[in-house]
Structure 1
Amino acid sequence: MVKIASVIGATGYVGSAVIKSLCEHGFSVRAASRNPTSASWLSSLGDEGKVEIFPLTLKNQSNVSSLDQLRGLMRGSEMAFFCAGFEEQSPSTIDFMVNNVKDVIKIAKSENVKTVVLTSSGGSTNPAGLSDSTPKSELLHFSDPDDQIAKGKFSPAAKTLMERAAFDAVGRNHNNEIVDSALASSSPRLCIMVPNLILGPQLDPGSIKGNSLPWMIKILKKERMSEFIPNDSMSIIDIRDLADLHVAAALNEDASGRYFGVNRSFPWREILNCFGEVLEKYTPPLEKEGEDYDGKIATQFDHSRKESLGVELRELKETLKDLVEYFKWKDAL
């Protein structure tokens, strides 16, 4: 019997990569898009007939319900992936993420979908006062959404509150502990992937989109970070590895709760010098005099839960090399 998976946010950077990974794992995929005609390129991510495109308009600020479309999408699916995003820095971002995730879990439960995997972000993992030297834990470390909202950080607040709403909907607290046995036993298994900076080739054949890839182009063109190397770090994952982590979590019946979608946190000195190795015309900026680059501790993570999923992650150099080749192919460099 053919296994079916549903992907919401299918045309996005993460959603399309998840579709490709699912196809490589033998799934037939139902890819949701508010404009199926413009999403036809998704069909090329798997063998002929493996990717079917479904219309879906998610609940928006006007509270237009998408429940009937969600039922049609998820009926008969073994698992569902919510990879949609809404990055506007306004309270509407919170409404969008929280309400749609609650709807997805509600419909997954009614349609007997076994597993729901959500794409969140590292913005939900930053409790006040946590030292970079203290390894972050998926089970322990959460951002304060009230503080995020007070600072106008609506997008990360949306991810934090989305996660909490999702845990509530399956009878667990945000530490993934069961607090309502009846609700937990009748709900789909919930996994949440928490990435930071995502890099690697974009599958969408159109223009380069999003925040991370255009930012990298500006760095490589010396429009950003042109004078000095920042004495800081950045947590990175290859888009292909992140997609495989999503699928591995869905396939592992023991997987539940949050998982870091992070290779590790790399010092900017290492990142920019690596770019210099893979792009001949790029020369990294200088180190700023007086900065203690060797003494700066990169953000630490407890990788044990992520590693339990069994996905071998690419080295940074491979990710950046493939990213540079993609930029060249797109005539962006």
Structure 2
Amino acid sequence: MTTNSNNEKFVLVTGGSGFIAVHCILQLLNAGYRVRTTLRSLSREAEVRAMLREGGVEAGDRLSFITAELGSDTNWSEAVSGCTYVLHVASPTPINVYKHEDEMIIPAREGVLRVLRAAREAGVKRVVLTSAVGAIVYGHKPQTEPFTENDWTDTSGKVPAYQKSKTLAERAAWDFIEKEGAGLELSVINPVGVLGPVLSADYSHSIHFLQNILEGKMAGSPKVNSSYVDVRDVADLHLRAMTNPAANGQRFIATAGESIWMVEVAKILKKHVGALGEKISTKELPNTLVRVAALTNPTAKAIIPFLGYMMNTTNEKAVRLLGWKPRSAEEAIVATAESLIRLKIVK
């Protein structure tokens, strides 16, 4: 562990069992901070500590746990007490089958406001909120220019519920800071598809499709365009946004660079995984075939709004203001595959 001025600073990381959150905790501990993290159930403490060990850190007493849920006020004041910074990473998981979009929107928005209120009352210096590129790139007419932090998803259009929830939650956060923040600082990170080394069988929903490609479960790739980023770089950007004065009041797209089509992901995997690559299809599926599958398959139905839609984004702002230097998308893809294979998650 580093011995420095961070040793007596506490950072709260919400949703400590999550993929991004665990990598944030790893980097905070390596930087010398003391970390407190929230879990919905303390029964997962051993699991989180095991993931940290897989990442090379024995947390010991520099990490503590507290029970807190986004849907309840219980324990939030205790969670933020004495903390200099808060990384609000926790968010409701995407639901493919739901009765109403409010099942995702209300918990996301109210959870953000609950954390911000507690942070303000506790005298926290800055909150870094994990939003998503979903709060930026949807509801627009097709465009070839990369999306930037100045863009906002237009929720009045046909926007998937999860992306709508991320947009409205982030909007609510900025509105709270402006009207009720009382000096509390806010920075926001908007990650694209998050890949990178998994530390257990519990990982980002962005990685499931990659696992399916590796296991040969996909006859081909739908024509879906996306940008990707390594989770280690997302965590690094959170820490930079936490302390850099230039990050206050700013949002940052976390992307490795140019967007690519899903079939390119399959080709990268096939190139790098040796014999396992025999299962990987590098065909691109016609849009009509995906639309037919969507009639009975909820996963295929969720893909429909993204078919043929360019998702290109830029990391220029994070690189310029915060000196951020992310790995390439190819490095992130390969690191993901290697970890899935090493942990024997890929069947």
Same fold (TM over 0.5): yes
Partner of 2:119: 108
Q: Is the 8 A contact 2:14 2:37 kept in 1?
A: yes
Q: Is the 8 A contact 2:137 2:311 kept in 1?
A: no
Paired with 2:285 and 2:79, the residues of 1 have a C-alpha distance of 53
**Structure (1/2) with the larger helix percentage:** 2
TM-score by length of 2: 0.80
Q: How far 1:34 sits from its partner (Å)?
A: 1.7
Alignment of 1:136-285 (within 5 A): 136-139=147-150, 141-148=151-158, 153-171=160-178, 183=180, 186-203=182-199, 205=200, 207-224=201-218, 226-227=219-220, 230-255=222-247, 256-264=249-257, 265-281=259-275, 282=277, 283-285=280-282
- Secondary structure of 1:259's counterpart equals strand
- Secondary structure of 2:128's counterpart equals strand
State the identity %: 22
Unaligned residue ranges in structure 2 (runs of 5+): 1-6, 287-307
The CA RMSD measured in Å over matched residues stands at 2.3
1:55-108 deviations in Å (ceiling 9; x for gaps): 11331xxxx433xx1111111111101111212343121111111111111111
| Number of residue pairs the alignment of both structures matches | 302
Q: Is the 8 A contact 1:43 1:49 kept in 2?
A: no
Q: Is the 8 A contact 1:18 1:244 kept in 2?
A: yes
- Secondary structure of 1:49's counterpart equals helix
- Secondary structure of 2:266's counterpart equals helix
Q: How far 1:273 sits from its partner (Å)?
A: 2.0
Partner of 2:305: none
- Secondary structure of 2:129's counterpart equals strand
Partner of 2:299: none
Partner of 2:134: 123
Q: Is the 8 A contact 1:79 1:116 kept in 2?
A: yes
Letter in 2 for 1:15: A
Q: Structure 1 runs of 4+ off > 6 angstroms? A: none
Q: 1:211 to 1:164 in 2, by over 3 A?
A: same
Q: 1:330 to 1:298 in 2, by over 3 A?
A: same
Q: How far 1:279 sits from its partner (Å)?
A: 0.8
Partner of 1:29: 35
Q: Is the 8 A contact 1:235 1:299 kept in 2?
A: yes
Paired with 1:165 and 1:310, the residues of 2 have a C-alpha distance of 28
